[in-house]
Amino acid sequence: MPISTFLVAGLLALKVNALPGQDTPSILRRACPDYTTYASTQHGPYSGGPLNLPYQRPAQACRTFLSDSVEQVIEDVTSRLVDKDLAQLFRNAYPNTLDTTIRWHVNGSSSTVTRRNLDKRDTSDWSGLQTFIVTGDINAEWLRDSTNQVMNYQKLASQDKGLHDLILGAIRTQAEFVIRSPFCNAYQAPSVSGIQPENNTQVDTVHPAYEKSFVYECKYELDSLAHFLKMGREFHENTGSTEFLTDRWFKALQTVLSVIDAESKPTFDSNNQFVQNQYTFQRLTTLGTETLTLSGVGNPLNSGTGLIRSAFRPSDDATILGYFIPPNAMMSVELQGIAKVLQEAGGHDSLASELQDRGEKLAAAVREHGIVTNGKYGEVYAFEVDGYGSRTIMDDANVPSLLSLPYLGFLNQTDEVYQNTRKMITDKLGNPYYLEGPAFHGIGGPHIGLTNAWPMSLLIQAQTSDNETEIMECINLVRDSSLLGLIHESINVTNIKDYTRPWFSWANSVFGQTILKVAAERPHLIFGEGAEPYTVA
């Protein structure tokens, strides 16, 4: 389906559900250009800086969600930024999720959802606040992306009721996705939205089976479930609210725990007999990274590690060895994070201690099996292991990655093993996916291939460094390779004009986070000598 068709469907749904402060006549909204096309060419007014970066926000009438507090942050930050091109990038990137990706939002007090289009097979509870957030150029919601897409607005949610309800709705929508199809990574708009499901045009054979009107793609990625927990944990930390702790959310949490238990099972049982994993995936494809070996099972995994298998990575590429370290680290953090939320909420003591215990044991397993000795760099974290002693030594730009371990809250960036790992994965001779060329460099991954590095890796590198030269080199390299005024997925290391994905909301969100982190911690780097720190809310 052409993107313009679902855009119109989405806009009609928005009209039905009357977004707060958005009474633009639907006739105008239907005239809005498709944002993939819009983002692929430059628009004024230009920055006036050396790169003269374009202004890429859609016209106000075409934005998918409006927030005065987000506009205030844009004003506060861009008026302080010395570099006009960085200011233009922030102006475009920070609001990108709200401007372009809130495809459907039901505000609680106007929740008379039209059930005309209800899919009878859809047993989900779509009552109350709901928010469906597309990744960008694909009309589907990824659990991982959407958590990261709203992360920048979490800090504003305590004072801005609109953002509070937007994020609360997003948690509730994710809970419904997790309850019904917990092994999947990307989902269709809820049937009650009236938005037609998207066809991903792949031919997949997947167990457990899923409904194509509900799920866009069903790659089991451990980090998807950790991201579901993370959105609630951050909401609680920023607002103090426990409103998301509904029966449905607890049902989703129990579903996550049952997936973890199923995916902690080794390939052979205690009698050394093969037992098929609960999740299998095969795709009709010529790409090795898009399907699983051994008839969809994946390579064998040993018993007794305490690690949880992930069939795919956050790049949506298949793991080589299923005990993939970064999402195990992330899950250990989020289990303990939810334990803390439940302790603070009160009344869930035994569940809280179970989660704390699971989280601590998982963190210990990550250290025991994830740390390996490398002849050149010493003790380092492996990317993936199998419990038999095999390991993959590499990193991929997508978060969770090894580079992001401090960003995820798993360890302190001064940690010696992390520092060894960091040296290795930012070295062309240490990480096969550290890609360098005359125009660009950084960590990439198999997803786009061996000529393209990803801006996201440079932004995470900046966010996990204490070296101010390195921080600004990373930020400036991203600035210099974002000539369309937005952050792309990947950039060809030989030619920055050759890039993938004009409209990739998650990467724009990570750029916003990076600037806000520097503004709060090292304001002199971007606001000039002697500038005061700037913090949101």
Ligand X SMILES: *[C@@H]1O[C@H](CO)[C@@H](O)[C@H](O)[C@H]1NC(C)=O
Q: Is 28 helix (H, G, I), strand (E, B) or coil?
A: helix
Backbone φ and ψ of 491, nearest 5°: -130, 135
**How far is residue 68 from each of residues 65, 87, 286, measured CA to CA in Å?**
10, 19, 48
Distance, C-alpha 183 to centroid of its chain: 16
| Residue 326 within binding range of ligand X, rule CB under 6 A | no
Site for ligand X in 466-485 (CB under 6 A): 467, 469-470, 473
Among 48-56, 158-166, 269-277, 392-400, the segment contacting ligand X (CB under 6 A): 158-166
Helical pair 468-480 and 505-521, crossing angle rounded to 10 deg: 150
Query: Is the CB of 40 or the CB of 52 nearer to ligand X?
Result: 40
Burial class (CB in 10 A: 0-12, 13-18, 19+), 27: exposed
Query: Is the CB of 199 or the CB of 295 nearer to ligand X?
Result: 199
Q: Which of 270, 412, 438, 529 binds ligand X (CB under 6 A)?
A: 412
At closest approach, how far in Å is the CB of 488 from ligand X? 12
User: What residues are paired with 299 via a beta bridge?
Assistant: none
At closest approach, how far in Å is the CB of 407 from ligand X? 10
Query: Taken in order 211, 213, 217, 222, is the CA torsion positive or negative?
Result: negative
The answer to whether 430 and 395 have CB atoms below 8 angstroms apart is no
Query: Is the CB of 101 or the CB of 426 nearer to ligand X?
Result: 426
Residue count at the site for ligand X (CB under 6 A)?
24
The answer to whether 439 and 494 have CB atoms below 8 angstroms apart is yes
**How far is residue 126 from each of residues 115, 189, 193, measured CA to CA in Å?**
10, 11, 9
At closest approach, how far in Å is the CB of 220 from ligand X? 22
For 260, other C-beta atoms within 10 Å of its C-beta total 19
At closest approach, how far in Å is the CB of 143 from ligand X? 23
Residue with tokens 């399907």: 291
Query: Is the CB of 201 or the CB of 272 nearer to ligand X?
Result: 201
Q: Which of 40, 72, 419, 495 binds ligand X (CB under 6 A)?
A: 495
| Residue 494 within binding range of ligand X, rule CB under 6 A | yes
The alpha carbons of the chain give a radius of gyration, in whole angstroms, of 22
At closest approach, how far in Å is the CB of 345 from ligand X? 22
* C-alpha count within 13 angstroms, C-beta hemisphere, residue 121: 7
Query: Is the CB of 47 or the CB of 173 nearer to ligand X?
Result: 173
At closest approach, how far in Å is the CB of 257 from ligand X? 28
Site for ligand X in 11-50 (CB under 6 A): 18, 20
| Residue 119 within binding range of ligand X, rule CB under 6 A | no
At closest approach, how far in Å is the CB of 450 from ligand X? 8
| Residue partners of 390: CB distance under 8 A and separation at least 6 | 321
| Residue 419 within binding range of ligand X, rule CB under 6 A | no
471-498 burial code (b ≥16 CB/10 A, e <16)? bbebbebbbebbbbbbbbbbbbbeebee
DSSP secondary-structure letter at 97? H
Tell me the residue number closest to ligand X, measured at CB.
20
Query: Is the CB of 270 or the CB of 412 nearer to ligand X?
Result: 412
Q: Is 167 helix (H, G, I), strand (E, B) or coil?
A: helix
Among 104-112, 178-186, 264-272, 523-531, the segment contacting ligand X (CB under 6 A): 104-112
Burial class (CB in 10 A: 0-12, 13-18, 19+), 300: middle
Taking phi first (over 0 means left), then psi (-120 to 50 degrees means alpha), and beta for anything else, what does residue 491 get? beta
| Residue 205 within binding range of ligand X, rule CB under 6 A | no
DSSP secondary-structure letter at 134? -
Query: Is the CB of 4 or the CB of 495 nearer to ligand X?
Result: 495
At closest approach, how far in Å is the CB of 69 from ligand X? 12
Query: Is the CB of 218 or the CB of 301 nearer to ligand X?
Result: 218
Among 44-52, 334-342, 465-473, 503-511, the segment contacting ligand X (CB under 6 A): 465-473
Query: Is the CB of 21 or the CB of 347 nearer to ligand X?
Result: 21
Among 66-74, 334-342, 444-452, 480-488, the segment contacting ligand X (CB under 6 A): 444-452
Query: Is the CB of 385 or the CB of 519 nearer to ligand X?
Result: 519
DSSP assignment string, 446-515: TTTBTTEE-HHHHHHHHHT---HHHHHHHHHHHHHT-TTSS--SEEETTEEEEEE-S-BHHHHHHHHHHH
Q: Which of 26, 127, 199, 285 binds ligand X (CB under 6 A)?
A: 199
| Residue 285 within binding range of ligand X, rule CB under 6 A | no
| Residue 452 within binding range of ligand X, rule CB under 6 A | yes
| Residue 110 within binding range of ligand X, rule CB under 6 A | yes
How far apart (Å, rounded) are the C-alpha atoms in residues 311 and 378? Answer: 28
Q: Which of 56, 238, 492, 513 binds ligand X (CB under 6 A)?
A: 492
At closest approach, how far in Å is the CB of 129 from ligand X? 9
Query: Is the CB of 254 or the CB of 494 nearer to ligand X?
Result: 494
Give me the residues that bind ligand X (CB under 6 A), please.
18, 20, 107, 109-110, 161-162, 165, 199, 201, 412, 414, 448-449, 451-452, 467, 469-470, 473, 492, 494-495, 498
